Amino acid sequence: MYRPRVIPVLLLKGLGLVKTVKFDKERYIGDPINAVRIFNDLEADELAFVDITATNENRTISLDLVRNIGDEAFMPFAVGGGITTLEEIKQLLSVGAEKVIINTAAVTNPNLIEQAANSFGNQSIIVSLDIKKSLFNKYTIYTNSGSRKLKADFIEHIKKMESLGAGEILINSIDNDGMMQGYDIELINQVSNAVSIPVIAAGGAGATKDFGQAFKEGQASAVAAGSMFVYHGPRRAVLINYPDKNELFHVFN
């Protein structure tokens, strides 16, 4: 029976894994290649790697690191961080990534989405959007790792990304990031109702029941999480983990 994909999102700061809370308070987690090996053994559906400082440092996620991930990973994986050109996308796909994740450049240069979809197929292009609520509960897009606010209406922007050829939308709640208290279901629902392409829910998962809620109530096509897959227990000891298939089957059915 069908179940949504369950995707660990692993944050990179250069060549190391980190985890954040509300896009702040970075904590070093460990070596990304070691994490890939563990997720291989745990049979994760997919992985996503995002270099969170690449854009603000005017660089792209390390091509050598992506190549090393490609050599180790048994599952499909997506990569993001500082991607601004077709040539960068071509290089990342050529060393093993199945998909690229584009965030800030989707705002600063929307034509890149159309060009990339035409060149590599829309199944290879994920547009990632970081969303935060204003004091008046209005959803607002932020770029540059959550440091710059976009004035455009977030639903209109998402529809535009779909029309330009994005294959998937990764929607991440800055307010819920790292809190492990559940997704913003209203946000996920609004995005899912606005587009016909798959929507990946991210930001806030703390238990497998949150996956089920994002799927059943938020209408997400896939679910992603960070803290839940790198921490264990109330003290958040670092432990790479992933739910078994039976547990996931019961969560979604």
Q: What percentage of residues in the chain have a pLDDT greater than 90? A: 90
Beta strands in 179-220 (DSSP E): 199-202
The pLDDT assigned to 49 comes to 98
Regarding pTM above 0.85, the answer is yes
Phi, psi for 149 (deg, rounded to 5): -90, 140
* Position 1 confidence tier, pLDDT thresholds 50, 70, 90: low
Q: What is the mean pLDDT of residues 224-238?
A: 93
Show Cβ contacts of residue 1 under 8 Å, excluding neighbours closer than 6 positions: 249, 253
Residues marked active site are found at 130
Helix (H) or strand (E) holding 249: helix 245-252
Q: How many CB atoms lie within 10 A of CB 166?
A: 25
Q: Residue 217, Cβ neighbours under 10 Å: how many?
A: 13
Average pLDDT over residues 204-233: 96
Contact yes or no for 138/95 (Cβ under 8 A): no
Domain extent, residue 216, equals 5-252
Q: State yes or no: pLDDT of 53 exceeds 60.
A: yes
φ, ψ at 7 (rounded to 5°): -120, 115
- DSSP label at residue 124: G
Question: What's the pLDDT tens digit per position in 59-69?
Answer: 999 999 999 99
Average pLDDT over residues 231-253: 92
Q: Which residues of 55-70 are buried (b: 16+ CB within 10 A; e: fewer)?
A: beeeebbbeebbebbb
CATH number at residue 109: 3.20.20.70
- First and final CA of the chain: distance in angstroms? 9
Q: What is the mean pLDDT of residues 111-122?
A: 98
Residue 152: CB atoms within 10 A of its CB come to 11
- Percent with pLDDT over 70 in the chain: 100
- The helix/strand/coil state of 76 is coil
Which H or E element spans position 127?
A: strand 125-133
Predicted local distance difference test score (pLDDT) of residue 2? 74
Greater confidence (253 vs 96) lies with 96
Looking at the DSSP bridge assignments, the partners of residue 199 are: 169
Decide if pLDDT at 136 tops 90.
no
Our CA angle for 132, 137, 141, nearest 5°, is 30
* Predicted pLDDT at 134: 84
How many domains does the structure of the chain reveal?
Answer: 1
**Average pLDDT along the chain:** 95
Instruction: Report the pLDDT value the prediction gives residue 166, as an integer from 0 to 100.
Output: 98
130 vs 235: which has the higher pLDDT: 130
